[in-house]
Amino acid sequence: MRTALTTVIAIIIITTLGCESGEAPSSKPKKNLTPAEVVTTHFKAVCDGNIEIIWSLMSQANKDKLIKSSENNEAEAKQMLKIGTSVMKWNRIEIGEVKIDGDNATVISIIFKGAEDKTGFTSLGRLVKENGKWLNAP
């Protein structure tokens, strides 16, 4: 269980970036998100605790990795995501450089913990294109 939770938190940290991007949260992401939109939508979903959106923005390899660490059970994997999102205390995100190379992309962003946090921390999100959609990669 500890390994699974560690994996979940790592996945969320690597692929999540904040709770105030200036846009209203969406209950369902649009179909063709850009890499930057995937990152900000994922961020909002983590802040809202919306596991279904987080799951929908994960690549199959990312899902497989999480399921494997959760005793090969998708429901358990989603429960671990729910636990992981409950410990995330970020406030906002700023998207920086976006690089696209074929079916792979990287998004550099800065995540801030609160209004007083002026420096934040830099995060590198990796994405992959699957079936025409950008998704968070492991």
> What CATH number is attached to the domain comprising 65?
3.10.450.50
- Whether the CB-CB separation of 46 and 8 falls below 8 Å is answered with no
Number of domains in the chain: 1
Radius of gyration, alpha carbons of the chain: 14
Q: How confident is the model at residue 115 (pLDDT cuts 50, 70, 90)?
A: confident
pLDDT tens digits along 78-110: 998 888 888 877 788 999 999 999 999 999 999
Q: How confident is the model at residue 130 (pLDDT cuts 50, 70, 90)?
A: very high
d(CA 131, CA 52): 19
pLDDT tens digits along 15-72: 443 344 444 344 455 578 999 999 999 988 988 889 999 999 999 999 999 999 888 7
Question: Going edge to edge, which strands form the sheet with 104-112?
Answer: 92-101, 104-112, 121-130, 133-136
Among 8-12, 14-18, 31-35, 119-123, which is the least confidently predicted range? 14-18
For residue 129, what are the domain limits? 2-136
- Whether the CB-CB separation of 17 and 123 falls below 8 Å is answered with yes
Contacts of residue 137, defined as CB under 8 A and 6 or more positions apart, other chains included, come to: 59, 61, 62, 104, 126, 127, 128
Compute the Cα dihedral for 52, 137, 88, 48 and give only its sign: negative
Q: How confident is the model at residue 138 (pLDDT cuts 50, 70, 90)?
A: confident
